[in-house]
A and B are shown apart, each in its own frame.
Chain A
Amino acid sequence: MAALFATDPSAAVLRVVREAGTAVSATEIKQALRAAGVSAFDKRTWNRLQKKLRVHDHIIVEPGYRYMWVAEPVVPPAADAFEQIVRSVGGRIKRAHAEVIRQALADAPYMSEIAARQRQAVLDGVRALAELASEVEELTVNQASTRAMIHRVRSRVKLAGLEPIERAGDSTVFDRKRHEPIGPSIDDGAHVIVVRPGYRWKTPHDDVLVSRACVQE
């Protein structure tokens, strides 16, 4: 032990704690070192050793500053570990930087949830599309009238918040905000025929132009 202390005093202290098999105080560690033949050392040396002991992965500090060896390193929750680091570096960290990390750590447990919700949003869209496709096929096989077919298509997309712009086959006056010419540009106010309708997506919070109605002069 004395030889080990001479070459690596921290390792000697750790061996004392590990071999104690229970939590030991600073006084008990010093007594054990002395009993093993380690010559007296000054307070400064001990303070240095004690600092290393406290942050060792296999050491936990119990109430009353008693040190105990644990076989598996104690891994605190990420947020607690970060707060320990913040405390140990004192004022040498920007508050804004610390806050960014705190927020990221707070969000971390929710990442799987967020991913599941994002997937669900895609699935909601895919389902609406699939329902529309299957309904069109069914109506076609059942010999639905054109009126019924168009009505049902518009009903389905309306459930998803889509509002049609114009109706295929109708005549109207060109409006560049609502219409997209097929081919060469068309002047505002010109008479046009709607080739296919456009759509807006409307919710209480959003009004998005998904596609303009395609028109031809």
Chain B
Amino acid sequence: MCAARRPTVGLDFGTSTTLVASTRGLIPIGNDTTFPWMPSLVGYADDGTVVAGENAQHLPDGQLARSIKRSITEGRDFVRIDVPTGAKDIRTDALITELLREAGRRGARRGRDIGVGSLVRLGCPAMWDGRQRRRLLGAAQRADLPVVLATMIDEPVAAGIAWLDRQRVHTGRPLRIVVFDMGGGTLDLAVLDVRGANHKDVSVLAALGIAEAGDDLDEAIAADLDIELAKAGIDIDAIENQPRARVWLRDAARTTKELLSSNDEEPIVLSPQVFGRAAEIWYTRGQLNEVFMPHMERAEDAVGLALMIARITESAKSAYEIARMPMDLLVQGVDVVLLSGGMCRIPYVRQRLEWLFESSTKVELAMDPPENAVVVGLARAGDYGTINMYRPAFDVLLEWNRGQEFRTVYEAFTPLVERSQIARGEDDLRYTRNGRDLSLPRNGKGKLRVVSYSGERLRATIGSRNLDGFPVALSDEKFGFSIYPDGRIRMTDGAGTFEGRVDDWHRLDAE
């Protein structure tokens, strides 16, 4: 069965929840619960069996791994968990495998077989590099999910596709989209360039993330409520069961945050059993906004950085100039800002972004509810061509000795430009490796090899020949290889300097 005819399933393995969708929409996979998603929880039951999803919710904290996805983001390989034989360091990838296997089983029970006959598109944070992506891929494959690197899609790109898929009218002109995906664990941002007939070609000009989102806001609101209670004469530190009061307050913070998405004020009615007396405080949206302000300021800084990277990808201006561009220039030309993730229900998010961008820029939900945008976009991604120009999906290898020895010159999904390079205002922004970095032999003959993970062969040339198979005069002194954000390639070897480019990347100034 060819890939195009295989039923496609989207799987969004989130920090807090895991969702599954077919091309027709969300497939509810919640068990013994009214929610359509499965909690991203996994742990060890008392009898030593691994349990995932809702069953893990009732485990003691020591037997449970929360936010297991973060172990990949933070590069942690093990997590300490209480098993029947005592505390043990468990490989996090093995736990992720169990969680994904459970999601696959549930999808199958609801009529969507996530087996060999189907094609799974798995989301991943845009900020992940090749190694992080391969970790999730390995875990998914061990869970018997039919997924390859080519079917792993950046989460903000998927959210953009969910929105594009619902657009009825296509003007034909290119669209510039910023995706603002704020969930429980991370804020993911992407700047997309959408072109082609019916807007089916999506290029990622920039993608980055910061590990700060909803959970941090809950903590900040709880801290603010602590102050409000003090004003009302209730000192939490003086309460007999202080931990219980703080847990109660955090729960109230989360509820109040949700309810303030549609109201200007909300009452918080204290439990006399927990706080020793009855009391009522009213928390306003203004107070919430004030608490949220520093978070949104950091989020806006990240938006600015993403827009700078996008400018570097498309513009002839020097990085020095772009790094000093004021925000009101950076935001120019953006057609739509798409909001994705549960945190985007908070009106302040939209309000701040409306203030940040030009009045002609639309700010709207990628879909309603915004928590479903990524998984629905993943399921629909087969109809779209996506090219990641910021973290290209190909390896460039330099091999010699008839392929018996090789070095990775460029590893797929490595950002072409580091944030620190922009911050320093470096002028010649590019990804570069030299012969010494790679410990190349002093001389000899080699060849460049290209391994594409996009599902299609990469069209790239150098010195008027194919990049794949291009001969290289090895030299530890002279060898240098660079990829520029606009798709230019330059290689210097023992024989000279060769210019080339990635032909698959559209020229942003061409339309």
Binding site for B on A (CB under 8 A): 109-113, 115-117, 119-120, 123-124, 126-127, 130, 138-139, 141-145, 147-148, 151-152, 155-156, 158-159, 204
Q: How large is the interface on B (under 10, 10 to 19, 20 to 34, 35 or more residues)?
A: 20 to 34
Stretch at the interface among B84-92, B207-215, B270-278, B423-431: B270-278
For B280, the chain A residues whose CB sits under 8 A away are 144-145, 148
Highest count of chain B CB atoms <10 Å: which of A138, A139, A145, A152: A152
Query: CA of A163 to CA of B267 in the docked complex: distance in angstroms?
Result: 19
For A127, the chain B residues whose CB sits under 8 A away are 34-35
Query: CA of A124 to CA of B265 in the docked complex: distance in angstroms?
Result: 25
Query: CA of A42 to CA of B181 in the docked complex: distance in angstroms?
Result: 76
Question: How far does the Cβ of B252 sit from chain A's closest Cβ, in whole Å?
Answer: 11
Question: How far does the Cβ of A156 sit from chain B's closest Cβ, in whole Å?
Answer: 8
Q: Does B112 have its Cβ within 8 Å of any Cβ on chain A?
A: yes
27 of the cross-chain contacts (CB-CB < 8 Å) are A112-B110, A112-B111, A112-B112, A113-B24, A113-B111, A115-B111, A116-B111, A120-B26, A120-B28, A120-B36, A127-B34, A127-B35, A130-B34, A139-B269, A142-B270, A142-B271, A142-B278, A143-B272, A144-B267, A147-B267, A148-B269, A148-B280, A151-B266, A155-B262, A155-B263, A156-B259, A159-B262
CB pair A159 B259 closer than 8 Å: yes
20 other A-B residue contacts (CB within 8 Å) besides A143-B272, A152-B259, A159-B262:
A109-B7, A113-B25, A116-B27, A116-B28, A116-B111, A117-B26, A120-B28, A123-B34, A124-B34, A127-B35, A142-B269, A142-B270, A147-B267, A151-B266, A155-B262, A155-B263, A158-B262, A158-B263, A159-B258, A159-B261
Question: How far does the Cβ of A122 sit from chain B's closest Cβ, in whole Å?
Answer: 9
Contact with A along B423-445 (1 / 0, CB 8 A): 00000000000000000000000
For B261, the chain A residues whose CB sits under 8 A away are 159
For A158, the chain B residues whose CB sits under 8 A away are 262-263
Binding site for A on B (CB under 8 A): 7, 22, 24-28, 30, 34-36, 110-112, 258-259, 261-263, 265-267, 269-272, 278, 280, 368
CB pair B27 A113 closer than 8 Å: yes
For A143, the chain B residues whose CB sits under 8 A away are 269, 272, 278
Measured CB to CB, the nearest residue on chain A to B278 is A143
For B266, the chain A residues whose CB sits under 8 A away are 151-152, 155
CB pair A110 B24 closer than 8 Å: yes
Measured CB to CB, the nearest residue on chain A to B258 is A159
Given the interface contacts A113-B24, A124-B34, does A142 sit within 8 Å of B111 by beta carbon? Answer: no
For B272, the chain A residues whose CB sits under 8 A away are 142-143
For B25, the chain A residues whose CB sits under 8 A away are 113, 117
Query: CA of A155 to CA of B35 in the docked complex: distance in angstroms?
Result: 20
